[in-house]
Every structure is written in C-alpha cells, then in structure tokens.
C-alpha cells in the first residue's frame, strides 16, 4: 500500500473515490467536493440522521459523475479529538475500503498536521493488518494507493514504517509455540539483523550458564528446546547522543512450569513473548529511521515447561548480578528470566533501560486489559514517556514503587529475594523484584503489557490477537532524544 501526500485541486486528478472525515455536526469539508456533491450529501444526512459521531459512516454512489464513490466517516466532537482519533478512524476507513475492494482513493481530513499525517498513515497500515498464514485460502486483495490531501509526506513515510513494524511484531506474536520457540526466535533476530545491518549476538544454553545467567537457564531448562539470549545492537553513524537498552520478556510459551496453569489460563500463552517481539520491532524501526542513539535490544528467550529437568518451587538460584532468588512459584517465571537480562543490560551502562513484559495477570486486574502498567525509578523519564504515549495512543498508567512495606513481601525467606509477593499488589511486587536487578543510577521504565499485548476482540486499529503494543511509543521516545 502506497500512502502519499497530495495537494492541489481535486479535479486535476479526478479520483474515482474519495474518503472524507468530518467533525460531529460540522460538515464544512464537504465543500471540497464542489457544490453539487456537498448539497446532495448534506440532504442525505438530514434524512438518515448521520451526525458524524466517531466511527459513524456513510457511503454514496454517483454513477454519472466523475467521483463515483464517496465515503464519509465521523471523527466525533471537534473539541474531544486526540491524535489517536485520526489513527482509529483511518483504520476503520481502510477496513471498509478493503471490504469493498477499492484499490485507490484520496483522503480528506478537516484537520491536518505532521502528527495527524503520521497518525493517518499508521491507522491505514494497522487497519489493513490480517493474520492469514494458516488459512489455506488467503485474502488476495490489497489497497494500492491512498493519497492524503495536504499531508506532510515525511510524516506519512514515518507513520508507514512505524505501523509496518508494529504489524511485523504482531505477526511474530501471533505465531504459535510449535513454530516460534527460543531457537527460531533467535533465528528470526539474526535474520532481522542481517537484513538491516544490525549487530547480533546469540548465546546458547552453554554460554548462558557460563555467563552466570542461571536464572534464565533455570526457567528454560525444563523444555526440550533450550533457552537463548539475544543481543542486538544499533549504532548510529555520526554523533551518539545517548545509549539506551530495550529489554523484552521472551517466553515463547508459558505453561506455568511445575506450578502448571489450568487449561483456560494456558490458552494464548504463546503471547508471553510479546515483549521480546516488541523489542525486535523496535530494533527494526530504529534501523530504518536511524536516530542518533545507540540502542541495545536484549531478549531472554525461553519456554516454561514442566518436566523432570524443570526448575522447582523452593529452588534457590544465583542471578547474573550475584543476588540469590528463591522460587516460590514457577509460574512467576518472566521476572526470573528478566533478572539476568536486566543485570546484563546494567553492565552495558546505558543511560536508560525500558523493559516490556507480559508480566502479571495482576496488572490486568488493576488496570483492565487495554492499559499497560508503567513503573519507573525516575520521575522525569516516566513523565516524558507518558507524554509521548499520549500521541501514540498507547494507554499507560503509572503504578507506584515506593511502598516499602509492600517491598518486604519479596524480601522474605532464605534468599535475597523471593519471586512472588502474594496476591495483593502483584503487579507492583513483580516490578519491585525487577528493580533488584537494575543498577542504581540507570533510569529505568518497566512496562507490564500483559493486558494490551493481546486482544480478545476487534477494537480501534486492532483485531483479535496480537497488537504489537509498545513498539510505537518506545521508538518515538528514542527518535525524540
Ligand atoms: N505470563 C504470565 C502473566 C500473564 C497473564 C500474561 C495473563 C498475560 C495474560 C506470567 O508469567 C504469570 O504467570 N504470572 C502469574 C504470577 C503469579 C504466579 C505470581 C500471574 O499473573 O498469575
Ligand atoms: Mg507464568
Ligand atoms: Zn509468563
């Protein structure tokens, strides 16, 4: 799908179809089509009761005119619009075009800016996503070109790259555990690095143990597919303004291990690698958009399985940074793998670390499934990050790390830390556990994406399945350094 800016007169290109976005009860943009179309459509709205609420849409045929087909989509109340409204409505429009097999169109929005141009492109690419790899009959229709009236070309291009990257992440997360395991995930990382000129180091199970990453090894050793540690590096050509590490939880399947999950909780646990796949996406976007920031992508890939060689409740494991972890529950495995990966990240001495992890069901209990939990040891980093997420439309909500009484719950028992802190505040104690492995002095954000990484239903620019959550906000943050 090509998305290009267009400015000039509509009649110079005489498009066969046009898509118009309108504010609620403010249809002035219709005048761009000319008097005849606009008065016809206005009268039709009077009859149908169309108001232009967000997502409301109508379609008009003009068999005898130059423009044969006009779609109108409501944006909702003008005062309530956010950047994400444009992204959502753009996705909706594209879904409709795809359904109607319209190959080319021109899109007119009553408001346009570089941010909105980017959002429109993102919405279009995200909205055209489908996962049909395992359908024998593939969908073969593709939209060829969308022209966006008065848009900013550079922003359209950036939006397209970001959304294609998010779709790349969605594709990986949607793959089941019999296809993506720690080995094939590592191969995917290598393939990505080779195609984009990133440095890539993969460490096998022997090297993982030699490096002192016993925590990652312990979680992975119950599976017949051994764990891998993946390190990708992007180095800018000129000046380096900052060094950042992005860390992803990469459980290619989480059965719970010996503390096995009941069947209906185990379902969808192929998505427990969503953080890792987001990291691959972030590295892809960074390689294409080339910011002046050195970026390290780090993934602990493992499969959490019950077996004779699985780690057990009561086990005490020495993590890479020397701290001892007691295992209370083998299903709290993500934080155990991240202990080693965050220790490794700290050794690289970056200014900042962001980790993305489908870490706790408790975070979904706290915030619902559409919002990620944000935890940070740096007020400023957190604020900047949240502000960027307002533009990207990825919902984040900060949860506290300063409850010292709660912290005691993971500081119990025979070892330095225990891997669960009980039922209450489960997302927070998990984040506090991670904090034990981040060196003081490094600004760190933990994103618990257990909810928004996966969608049970279609909404906005998402369809049922993997969402690729986190990619756009992290990349935007890096680009604005
Ligand atoms: N991968 C899960 C968390 C999860 C749950 C992600 C639902 C997405 C949807 C994680 O490894 C896990 O099992 N966490 C346990 C922790 C508990 C044993 C302390 C949980 O949340 O129940
Ligand atoms: Mg688990
Ligand atoms: Zn898990």
- Res. 235 pLDDT band, cuts 50 70 90: very high
Residue 11 has pLDDT above 90, yes or no: no
266-280 pLDDT per residue, tens: 999 999 999 999 999
**372 burial level (CB within 10 Å; 0-12, 13-18, 19+):** buried
Q: How close is the Cα of 301 to the center of ligand 3, in Å? A: 11
For residue 50, what pLDDT is reported? Answer: 98
**Same domain for 404 and 427?**
yes
d(C-alpha 472, C-alpha 160), whole Å: 11
Same domain, 311 and 337: yes
- Please report the pLDDT score of residue 439 as a whole number: 98
Contact 110, 86 (CB under 8 A): no
**Structure confidence at residue 21 (pLDDT):** 98
Q: Which of 87, 273, 335, 352 is the catalytic position?
A: 335
Per DSSP, the three-state class of 326 is strand
**Do 20 and 42 lie in a common domain?**
yes
Task: Say if 155 falls within a structural domain.
Answer: no
Catalytic-residue membership of 261: yes
Same domain membership, residue 284 and residue 428: yes
Q: Which of 325, 369, 450, 451 to probe ligand 1 with, by most ligand atoms within 8 A of CB?
A: 450
Determine if ligand 1 sits within 6 Å of the CB of residue 361: yes
156, part of any domain: no
Query: Percentage of the chain surpassing pLDDT 70?
Result: 100
Domain hosting 20: range is 2-150
Check residue 134 and give its pLDDT.
Answer: 98
pTM to 2 decimal places: 0.98
Query: CA 478 to CA 237: how far, in whole Å?
Result: 16
Within this chain, do residues 295 and 389 fall inside the same structural domain, yes or no?
A: yes
Work out how many domains the chain is built from and give that number: 2
Is residue 12 scored above 90 in pLDDT? no
Q: Decide if 157 is inside a domain.
A: no
Note the pLDDT of residue 43.
98
Asked if pLDDT for residue 340 goes beyond 90, the answer is yes
Residue 58 φ then ψ, to 5°: -140, 155
Q: Is the pLDDT of residue 13 over 90?
A: no
Q: Rounded to whole angstroms, what are the CA distances from 402 to 100, 338, 468?
A: 53, 21, 30
* Shared domain check, 366 and 266: yes
Distance CA 216, CA 182 (A): 12
User: Domain end: 150, 174, 207, which one?
Assistant: 150
Cβ(467)–Cβ(170) below 8 Å: yes
Rounded to an integer, the average pLDDT of 430-459 is 98
Substitution candidate for ligand 1 out of 271, 330, 358, 361 with most atoms within 8 A of CB: 361
Pocket of ligand 1 contains residue 427 by CB under 6 Å: no
Quote the strand ranges of 167-261, DSSP E: 199-203, 228-234, 242-254
**Looking at the structure, do residues 226 and 131 belong to the same domain, yes or no?**
no
Side-chain-side CA neighbours of 293 within 13 Å: the count stands at 27
Q: How far apart are CA 82 and CA 298, in angstroms?
A: 33
CATH number of the CATH domain containing 206: 3.40.630.10
Pocket lining: 360 vs ligand 1, CB cutoff 6 Å: yes
Asked whether residue 290 falls in the same domain as residue 333, the answer is: yes
Instruction: Say whether pLDDT at 124 is over 90.
Output: yes
**Pair (127, 194) in one structural domain:** no
Measured CA distances, 8 to 11, 30, 32, 112, 380 (Å) = 9, 16, 11, 15, 44
Last residue in a domain, options 116, 150, 184: 150
pLDDT of residue 96 exceeding 90? yes
Contact (CB, 8 A) for 347 and 223: no
Please indicate, yes or no, whether residues 362 and 474 belong to a single structural domain of this protein.
Answer: yes
Report pLDDT digits (tens) over 391-404: 999 999 999 999 99
Mean pLDDT along residues 189-193: 98
3-state SS assignment for residue 463: coil
Whether 136 and 174 map to the same domain: the answer is no
Q: Write down which residue in 125, 150, 175 finishes a domain.
A: 150
| Pair of tokens at residue 244 | 């950042």
Candidate list 51, 98, 243, 261, residue with the active-site label: 261
Give the pLDDT score at 162. Answer: 98
**In the annotation, is 235 catalytic?**
no
Same structural domain, 135 and 223? no
What is the rounded average pLDDT of the residues 141-152? 97
Provide the pLDDT confidence category of residue 139 given band limits of 50, 70 and 90: confident
Q: Which atom of ligand 1 is nearest to the CA of 265?
A: 7
Examine the pLDDT at 209 and tell me if it is beyond 90.
Answer: yes
User: Looking at residue 68, which CATH number applies to its domain?
Assistant: 3.40.220.10
Predicted local distance difference test score (pLDDT) of residue 299: 99
Q: What is the pLDDT of residue 216?
A: 99
Q: In the predicted model, what is the mean pLDDT of the chain?
A: 98
């Amino acid at each position: 799908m090509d998305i290009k800016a267009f400015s000039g007169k509509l009649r110079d290109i005489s498009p066969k179809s046009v898509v118009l976005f309108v504010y609620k009860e403010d249809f002035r943009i219709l005048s761009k089509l000319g008097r005849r179309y606009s008065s016809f459509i206005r009268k039709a709205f009077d009859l149908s009761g169309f108001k232009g609420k967000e997502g409301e849409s109508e379609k008009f045929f003009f068999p005898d005119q130059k423009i044969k087909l006009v779609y109108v989509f409501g944006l909702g109340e003008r005062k309530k619009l956010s950047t994400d409204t444009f992204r959502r409505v753009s996705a909706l429009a594209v879904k409709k075009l795809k359904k109607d097999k319209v190959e080319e169109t021109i899109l007119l929005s009553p408001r346009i800016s570089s941010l909105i141009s980017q959002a429109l492109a993102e919405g279009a690419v995200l909205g055209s996503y489908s996962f049909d790899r395992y359908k024998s009959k593939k969908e073969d229709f593709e939209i060829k070109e969308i022209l966006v009236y008065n848009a900013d070309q550079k922003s359209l291009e950036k939006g397209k790259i970001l959304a294609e990257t998010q779709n790349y992440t969605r594709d990986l997360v949607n793959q089941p555990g019999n296809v993506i395991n720690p080995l094939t995930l590592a191969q995917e990382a290598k393939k990505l690095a080779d195609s984009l000129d990133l440095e890539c180091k993969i460490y096998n199970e022997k090297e993982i143990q030699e490096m002192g990453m016993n925590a990652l090894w312990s979680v992975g050793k119950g599976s017949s597919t051994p764990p891998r540690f993946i390190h990708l590096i992007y180095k800018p050509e000129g000046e380096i303004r900052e060094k950042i590490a992005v860390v992803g939880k990469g459980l290619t399947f989480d059965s719970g291990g010996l503390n096995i999950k009941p069947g209906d909780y185990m379902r969808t646990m192929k998505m427990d690698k969503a953080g890792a796949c987001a990291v691959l996406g972030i590295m892809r976007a960074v390689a294409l958009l080339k910011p002046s920031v050195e970026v390290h992508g780090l993934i602990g890939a493992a499969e959490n399985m019950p077996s004779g060689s699985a780690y057990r409740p009561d086990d005490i494991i020495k993590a890479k940074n020397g701290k001892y972890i007691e295992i209370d529950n083998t299903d709290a495995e993500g934080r155990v793998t991240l202990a080693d990966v965050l220790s490794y990240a700290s050794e690289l001495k970056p200014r900042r670390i962001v980790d993305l992890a489908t870490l706790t069901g408790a975070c979904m209990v706290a915030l619902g499934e559409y919002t990620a939990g944000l935890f940070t040891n740096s007020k400023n980093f957190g604020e900047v990050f949240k502000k960027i997420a307002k533009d990207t439309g990825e919902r984040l909500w900060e949860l506290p790390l300063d409850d010292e009484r709660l912290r005691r719950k993971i500081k119990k028992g025979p070892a330095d830390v225990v891997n669960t802190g009980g039922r209450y505040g489960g997302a927070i104690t998990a984040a506090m556990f991670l904090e034990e492995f981040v060196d003081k002095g490094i600004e760190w954000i933990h994103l618990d994406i257990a909810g928004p990484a996966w969608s049970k239903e279609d909404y906005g620019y998402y369809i049922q399945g993997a969402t690729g959550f986190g990619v756009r906000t992290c990349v935007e943050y890096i680009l604005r350094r």
